[in-house]
Structure 1
């Protein structure tokens, strides 16, 4: 009788049905979707159609005429086979980029962590040092960057005074060139480490000092605290830095692959279809690199899932 009367009250409108509440998991999912919604809107508005056009043109020979406009001739996989099997300039540069990135990224990450640890210490002039390491990002693009590359600002070997000083100290020219190459490599690695340093520095400043104090009371040395506290706390950001460094190296102006793609676009024997196929293959190389490095550097907790 009670069940029947309750149902009758609901049907007659005397008792309102209970509202369904979202579970905690659903609320977290909606919150995450809300946070990434600007990226989704930006991707659909500015990236989706150009990406479709790039894939579409990679399977065509594309030409343009003032009277006829854009013309597309279906060639299937000819552009890709031509890139991979006939004109191997891209293949050679892609191999060099793949190997060098696999070697550079771990060194850049390790160097960024070390410098972030140094900048996190309370010393005089910390703000100035942070500015110096972030300066490459401020002048990365534009006329200043072009002039530095053109007139030898990025190369130690272009500075005669440094070479002459080294020759006076070290008689062997081979040793001098080895030192110069080493310093140029260090400068490049520092140039690439600017943003990872800031990411790790921000993570270090979020670590509570109480954890270090408790560890020191228990007799832990600074070396032990680094491996047991510092590194586990900042390690999740390693994957973020890996993605950034790979994309940064791939799109750096000095990367010869970008020059090959741009020159192919205006080459009468290649045109936009060939350049689009180059861009697709280059994107595949970057995705493969990110996947390998991400899997190699992800945390142990995520590996066990």
Structure 2
């Protein structure tokens, strides 16, 4: 059977994502349907009657949004922090990836160092590190006292400590984006930079005209990864609220299902906002800087 090129490309794309399609239909579709349907029921359990389901319509959603503000407050915090964190993480990832792409000694060690957080980023380990001060300078008495001798002002000291802890936290989140951008940088032909240099382009100009347009399509991939990663991070208090609701006798699975769906809608909204912001910028870059990128 003869197929045109467009059809062949479409079939190739479908075959490429076919494992995801099979996995979604086999393992995700039915649980998603059960979660949606369960959110409209009040679930209770009795030792004699067992599980009981009572239709309550949108009562779970009204209770979450208007009666119990814990979830709404935490979601607002997550929404704002993600909007602020994601651009900073992506910028840091691009900078670090460019540094690791240079000819330096110990390049493999530094790559492992930045990817190490993902290897050891288990929930229990992170919980213990947070409990015993592994991610906080203020919990380390010796280090805090040393800093106090150097910085007498308490306000300035706390500001510097908070800023340092925030940067450290963002660097931990940037491990996977660094590897993604690093892989893209290694695919850029050196001939492009040589041609730009012959034309009189400075390294700064080469970055804006060659490097950034070439890797910019991967920003959207990193946006989706970071939004989902920050949402499902074990220490995210929203996940704790959902788990506690599941085992709370006055809430149970119906209430927790409604929480999960609302949380999913917030993540989708964040992905759309950041994705289309990236997409618009990408189209502009592609239109104005396509000469060197090609």
When the two structures are superposed, what TM-score results if normalisation uses the length of structure 1?
0.90
Aligned Cα root-mean-square deviation (Å): 1.5
Residues 213-232 of structure 1 aligned to structure 2 (within 5 Å) = 213-232=194-213
Partner of 2:9: 28
- 2:266 is aligned, of 277, 285, 301, to 285
Query: Is 295-304 or 70-79 further displaced after alignment?
Result: 295-304
Matched, 1:95 2:108: no
CA–CA separation in structure 2 for the residues paired with 1:215 and 1:203: 19
CA–CA separation in structure 2 for the residues paired with 1:140 and 1:164: 29
Does the aligned pair in 2 maintain the 1:112–1:193 contact within 8 Å? yes
Partner of 2:171: 190
CA–CA separation in structure 1 for the residues paired with 2:51 and 2:137: 47
Deviations 1:145-180 (A, max 9, x none): 332122111112111111101111111111111111
SS in 2 for 1:73: strand
SS in 1 for 2:138: helix
Does the aligned pair in 2 maintain the 1:264–1:272 contact within 8 Å? yes
Partner of 2:93: 112
Deviations 1:256-299 (A, max 9, x none): 11111011111111111001100000000000000000000112
Deviations 1:16-46 (A, max 9, x none): xxxx511111111111110000001111111
SS in 2 for 1:122: coil
Runs of 4+ off more than 4 Å? 301-304
CA–CA separation in structure 1 for the residues paired with 2:239 and 2:202: 48
Partner of 2:283: 300
Does the aligned pair in 1 maintain the 2:123–2:235 contact within 8 Å? no
- For these two proteins, the number of residue pairs brought into alignment is 285
Shift of 1:302: 10
Partner of 2:139: 158
Shift of 1:235: 0.2
CA–CA separation in structure 2 for the residues paired with 1:188 and 1:78: 38
SS in 1 for 2:3: coil
Partner of 2:291: none
CA–CA separation in structure 2 for the residues paired with 1:284 and 1:142: 24
Deviations 1:194-235 (A, max 9, x none): 000000000000000010011111111100000000000000
Partner of 2:292: none
Matched, 1:177 2:177: no
SS in 2 for 1:158: coil
Shift of 1:48: 0.8
When the two structures are superposed, what TM-score results if normalisation uses the length of structure 2?
0.94
Does the aligned pair in 2 maintain the 1:105–1:245 contact within 8 Å? yes
Gaps of 5+ in 2: 288-294
Does the aligned pair in 1 maintain the 2:44–2:53 contact within 8 Å? yes
CA–CA separation in structure 2 for the residues paired with 1:178 and 1:64: 50
Partner of 1:139: 120
Alpha-carbon distance change, 303 to 53 in structure 1, aligned in 2, over 3 angstroms: farther
Matched, 1:246 2:227: yes
Does the aligned pair in 1 maintain the 2:89–2:173 contact within 8 Å? yes
Matched, 1:85 2:47: no
CA–CA separation in structure 2 for the residues paired with 1:99 and 1:135: 27
CA–CA separation in structure 1 for the residues paired with 2:210 and 2:101: 15
Alpha-carbon distance change, 302 to 166 in structure 1, aligned in 2, over 3 angstroms: closer
